[in-house]
Amino acid sequence: MPSWHFDILSFDWKSAEDEKGLLESTRKISELITAKVDGGLPANRVVVVGGFSQGAVISLLTGGERKLGGVVALGGWVPLRKSVASDVGPVPVFWTQRKRSTCPNTIESTSDEELRDLKGWVKKVPLAVL
C-alpha cells in the first residue's frame, strides 16, 4: 500500500502542488517514525526509503521535517518548493535522477549501477531496520 496520497496537478514545474495531500502523506510517515522512536529507536538511525517518484518526494519532504539518519529518493522532485523549506539540512541524502524514457508505456525502474551505489551508501550510514 503506498504511503503517498497526493495528486500531481500538472507536470509544469511552475504550477501549484497538492500541498494538502503532500502534508497528509508526510504526516502519516512521520507518525510511523514517531512510533518507532517512542519505542526506543534513535531518530538518527531511521532512514526514510521512499522508492520511486511520488514516494521519493514524500521521503524528501519527511526528511526535511525530522532529524533522521538519512533519506533515500529514487527519482522525484523537490516538493512544495514555493511554500515549505524543503531542506534536509545535514541529513545524508541518496538521490538518483534518471532520464525519462522516450518509449511510451515504460515502467519507472532503477539500474544495477544505482542499486550498487545505494548499497555502498547504506553501508556508510548507521541504519535501523523498521
pLDDT digits (tens, 9 = 90+) for 79-110: 887 766 555 567 788 888 766 555 554 556 67
State the CB neighbour count (10 A cutoff) for residue 113: 9
Judge whether 66 lies within some domain: yes
Domain count along the chain:
1
Judge whether 11 lies within some domain: no
Judge whether 61 lies within some domain: yes
Judge whether 6 lies within some domain: no
pLDDT digits (tens, 9 = 90+) for 27-82: 888 898 899 889 988 877 777 766 778 888 888 888 877 778 888 888 887 888 77
Judge whether 72 lies within some domain: yes
Contacts of 109-118 with C-beta under 8 Å, sequence gap 24+, read: 109/52, 110/52, 110/74, 114/74, 118/72, 118/94
Distance CA 45, CA 91 (A): 11
Going by pLDDT thresholds of 50, 70 and 90, the confidence category of residue 1 is very low
Indicate the SS3 state at residue 70. Answer: strand
Residue 61, domain extent = 41-100+108-130
